[in-house]
Amino acid sequence: MFGESRLLTDEELAASRKKALAHWDRKSDLWLFGYGSLIWNPGLPAVETLRSKVHVYHRGLYLWSRVHRGTPEQPGLVLALDRGGSYSRHDVPACRQGHGAAP
């Protein structure tokens, strides 16, 4: 029903990060959009944070989690972004890393 899933190895996580940031020149600022727990703990230092809005996406309980909100036997639903609508927060979901910073 839920399919197979597993945590990424350190090597797989590093490769995923490298692919996701391939377009970044490491000289210009890097803006990241986060929601949920990423608002208060983004996992990296922020030079600046501000209120933001994402257009053409909305938030809903669409993602099954076997790690943080469930178990492999009984996954739990967590909030995720999906196409359609828009999503904004009154918190500070966007943060900027300085020039050349490496996440």
- pLDDT one digit per residue (tens) for the chain, 103 residues: 556 667 789 999 999 989 998 998 888 888 877 777 766 677 777 778 777 777 787 888 888 888 778 888 888 888 888 888 776 654 444 555 555 445 4
* Long-range Cβ pairs for the range 71-78 (8 Å, 24+): 72/5, 75/2, 78/36
Please tell me the pTM assigned to this model: 0.56
- Reference 77, options 62, 92, 88; nearest CA is 62
* d(C-alpha 57, C-alpha 65), whole Å: 20
- In order, the DSSP letters of 51-85 are --EEEEEEEEEEEEESSSS--SSS-EEEEEEEEEE
